[in-house]
Homo-oligomer: A and B are copies of this chain.
Amino acid sequence: MKIVLDYLEKNKARYTRELCDYVRFPSVSAQPKHKKDLAACCQWLLKHCKEIGLEARLCPTEGNPILVAKTPRKKGSKKQHFVVYGHYDVQPPEPLELWTTPPFEPRIKGRSLFARGASDNKGQNLAHLKAVEAYIKTGTELPVDLTFVIEGEEEVGSKSLAGFLNANRDELLCEAVVISDTGMPALNLPALTYALRGILSMEIRLEGPNRDLHSGIYGGSVDNPAMALCQLMGKLRDKDGRVAIPGFYKGVAELSAMERKEFKRIPMNEKEYCEFMGVPKLFGEKGYTSLEQRTARPTIEINGLTSGYQGEGSKTIVPAWASAKVTFRLVPNQDPAHIRVCLLKYLEKICPPTVRMHVKVGHGGQPYIVSPTSGMAKAALKTLKAAFGHDPLLMREGGSIPIVTQFKKVLLADSLLLGLALPDDNAHSPNEKFSLDCFEKGMKMSALLWQELAKV
């Protein structure tokens, strides 16, 4: 392995230049005007993969092409096979006036490379490609077979990925999917993310009168759908911050002492966290820390409220209807289908007979967890320690990563989430940057990871 790691060390300046080339493409998937830039970006990636020595191709989709690049392998290889996932599309750079330098003109300051997409996700997926380059160019045999899948629609919902996975299922079946698209709390706290929250979305609409009524003439003799909605919604969360739907907590895996101890290692300053969000005081489920509340505990959020008059001044009406958009974040091992049943039953029970209720339940996303003590997890942790020189963390994330669910569903494969983004990377925000330390340590991690995984 020394030859591989030496190669990485010797070529790091060139790698940084190549990352600069990669982030110069304004590959903004949300904006149709950048369609050509996305095409140019994946052509660059294709060429780059071929130069590295990978067997690469672009798979056209209804949206942007997906790059598939395979390490050279013998027919009938008995090596373990891993998929490495990444994406070459980026978030829109707007608002442009908040950028210190233009978003697609990379700038290095200290140990940071500033550019849209530097951290999310070009820097992270390039780190994996560069590690493989080191194997190939030094003639070192890779102990596993790898297939890179780098898509161009992650920032707009990965609409083409499911179809692609299904169409190429046989080629992509693997031990696990390695994804570097999450975060680590600090440079000295490398992390393996082993759990994600699931989601269940719904819209509750209460209908009262068949038109907005004059509140002077009718008000008092007919229920007010907006008030009925407030009272209904108010009953879904108790004063201790718990979701008040009977049956909701069924299956919730309580945090183990080991997990809670791990979480305590993550630096957390409540005052700073309040200031960062701009809230006067924190609020969350009693008995849990903020971190636990937002990563390992389920919650209900009202995402939007709509009713009646919303313009300037006042309009004296009893509105005809009121609606709330709601999402539940679910944790292992809650079942969205079960929650759906509990929810509908409870809403039916508490909805007053004076309004008509319409509930639209969206698709649920399963919460995700892989054992933090499995062989693969242990291999990943060992690698992180070796690459970063610090004891790695076991982390949960509060969001959902739909692609992880896709991989599980189509390929039946777990994902190893080895994020290289730091909390101040400004992903999705102006002045996005990527730490060159993370880039270099990330390449080392990737190179070492295949050795460790091959032993599992």
- A residues bordering B, Cβ < 8 Å? 197, 199, 201, 203, 208-211, 213-224, 226-227, 229-231, 233-237, 241, 273, 277-285, 290-291, 293-294, 297-310, 313-319, 322, 324-325, 327, 329, 352-356, 362, 397-400
Contacts and interface: CB of A to CB of B under 8 A. Distances in A.
Contacts of A300: 224, 227
A215 B362 CA distance: 16
Identical chains bound together, number = 2
Contact of A230 (B208, B294, B302, B318): B302
Contacts of A220: 241, 284-285, 293-294, 297-299, 329, 398
A209 B277 CA distance: 5
Given A208-B279, A280-B353, 19 more contacts: A213-B277, A215-B301, A216-B399, A218-B294, A221-B290, A221-B293, A222-B277, A222-B279, A226-B233, A226-B302, A226-B324, A227-B236, A230-B324, A301-B317, A301-B318, A303-B319, A304-B315, A305-B310, A314-B362
A10 to B, nearest CB: 38
A226 B304 contact: yes
B284 A215 contact: no
Contacts of A324: 226, 230
Contact of A284 (B199, B221, B325, B362): B221
Given A199-B216, A226-B324, A329-B219, A302 B319 contact: yes
A418 to B, nearest CB: 18
Given A219-B301, A294-B217, A294-B221, A278 B229 contact: no
Given A227-B237, A283-B354, A327 B215 contact: yes
Contact of A233 (B227, B308, B397): B227
Given A215-B327, A215-B329, A325-B308, A209 B279 contact: yes
A398 B400 CA distance: 51
B216 A400 contact: yes
Nearest to A428: B214
A214 B297 CA distance: 16
B354 A399 contact: no
Given A282-B354, A354-B279, A229 B227 contact: no
A318 B302 CA distance: 7
A299 B210 CA distance: 20
A237 B225 CA distance: 13
Contact of A283 (B235, B273, B299, B352): B352
Nearest to A210: B278
B230 A282 contact: no
25 contacts: A199-B316, A201-B314, A201-B316, A208-B277, A215-B301, A217-B397, A217-B398, A220-B241, A221-B283, A224-B302, A227-B234, A230-B233, A230-B305, A230-B324, A231-B234, A282-B354, A301-B317, A303-B314, A303-B315, A303-B318, A305-B306, A305-B308, A305-B310, A314-B327, A316-B327
A41 B295 CA distance: 69
Contacts of A302: 224, 226-227, 230, 307-308, 319, 322
